[in-house]
Amino acid sequence: MEFSLFGRNFTQKTGILELMDDLGQALAGDGEVSMLGGGNPASIPAMNEVWRQRLQEILLQDSGVELLLAQYDTPQGNPGFLQALARFFKERFGWNVGPENICVTNGSQNAFFLLFNLLAGEWGQGKSRSILFPLAPEYVGYADQALGSGHFHSRRPQVVLQEFPFFKYYVNFEGLELREDTGALCASRPTNPTGNVLTQDEVVHLAGLCRRSGVPFLLDNAYGTPFPGILFEDVEPFWDESTVLVLSLSKLGLPATRTGILVAKPEIIQAVTASNAILNLASSGIGQSLVLPFLENGALWELSRKIIRPYYLEARDFAVQAAVEIFAQRFPFRIHRPQGALFLWVWFPELPIPTRSLYERLKARAVVVVPGEYFFFGMEDEDKDWNHRRECLRLNYARPKGEILRGLMVLAEEVELAFGLPRR
């Protein structure tokens, strides 16, 4: 069957589509599988109990079910939820925001689709604008969100070796400028896939560039502060009028509610709200209803810091220690310093095969990872031969410990084979 240009754009083989297909097929199998490739958050028992009790509370309320399931919210979001968010941001961080600065979408993925296509693409009279990512690698889910070609440009980072086994990416500000055809600048903090956290100086510098150039700074906060708080360093939340802060309820343990949140100046909120009305009528209200009282009483902040962060910190430390013990003395490797999110980004310097091939070998042995090539989209031609792009892969450590250990051991064996080394 033939499709339009729009249809071909969204049905072609893409990194995110292949990843989701492979994850689904692996889950449907009967054998032992190490599912280290997905981005699904951990199922945290304490958070599951929080949401279970909240659901029971709603069910016991008069008209609770009707309010939860049987009516549309406004295209901008539930008014009570918007007001509670505005109070939370104003009282805790001093941000000058009201309900007019906030809207809700069907997940942050949906929010970025709207933002990327509102702020970049064909501009009329033969002109176009693009989204600039100041630091690659970046989230693979961005790569295929554009309705046209040439939508994204990414910059090569500074790669700094730290104490073994770590390294870290930094923004290379030399030559970084926002041109007339730059529609927005976008970065995630912390970053999927690397766990990198932009420093406060980097964020302030990037926001300043955007403010002076009059373009929005899209800051993806799906894992960050103030919630869900999957950060392992002291990081201050950031927002100013040049910034579009995008948050999510997924990593609070609510991925199926598909709830994204934007904090931005009113003009952007109005544009996203109008788009949301046309595409979706309204966003899902379930996540908003579940979370509302925890915003009103301040408990969401405490849940993020006392339950969610410690859970992921323990998982991170286990995965790093296991990787070092399993890989040590066998082949060269480095791990990006995991400052947040739920991933290990592993670099195998001078790996003889691309991680795309390594991915296929691992998949044949029931270990699912994500090859690094997918995360370096939009880079300039002079960076196409940068071998680092083909030497990294992403592992999700929000998995059972046995699954992680098995996956790391199989990975080590396949890396040894790639280097032509005998298996241990």
| pLDDT per 10-residue tile (average), the chain, 424 residues | 84 70 66 86 96 95 85 95 97 97 97 96 88 97 86 96 98 93 97 97 97 97 96 94 97 96 98 96 95 95 97 98 96 98 98 96 95 93 88 97 97 96 67
- Domain co-membership, 234 together with 209: yes
Supply the pTM of this predicted model. 0.94
CA 348 to chain centre: 23
> Quick one: tokens of 81?
């939820």
Whole-angstrom Cα distance, residue 197 to residue 200? 9
Look at residue 238 in the predicted model and tell me its pLDDT.
97
Q: In this structure, what CATH number is given to the domain that contains residue 76?
A: 3.40.640.10
Crossing angle of helices 401-418 and 309-327, rounded to 10°:
30
- Domain co-membership, 189 together with 217: yes
> Quick one: tokens of 190?
């912390």
Look at residue 21 in the predicted model and tell me its pLDDT.
72
Domain span including residue 367: 5-46+303-418
- Domain co-membership, 236 together with 111: yes
Output the CA angle 157-159-163, nearest 5 degrees: 150
Q: How many domains does the chain have?
A: 2
Whole-angstrom Cα distance, residue 214 to residue 79? 30
- Domain co-membership, 95 together with 192: yes
Q: Considering 275, 296, 317, which residue would you say is the last residue of a domain? A: 296
Output the CA angle 304-309-313, nearest 5 degrees: 175
Q: Pick from 153, 191, 172, 109: which is nearest to 392 by CA? A: 191
Name the residue type at position 372: G
Whole-angstrom Cα distance, residue 102 to residue 352? 48
Q: Is residue 60 part of a domain?
A: no
Render the burial of 108-128: b for 16+ CB within 10 Å, e for the rest. Answer: bbbbbbbbbbbbbbeeeeeee
Name the residue type at position 403: E
Q: In this structure, what CATH number is given to the domain that contains residue 15?
A: 3.90.1150.10
Q: Pick from 263, 251, 243, 260: which is nearest to 223 by CA? A: 251
Q: Considering 245, 264, 296, which residue would you say is the last residue of a domain? A: 296
CA distances to 24, 58, 322, 370, 406 from 319, rounded to whole Å, are 24, 38, 5, 16, 12
- Domain co-membership, 79 together with 216: yes
Q: Is residue 111 part of a domain?
A: yes
Q: Is residue 168 part of a domain?
A: yes
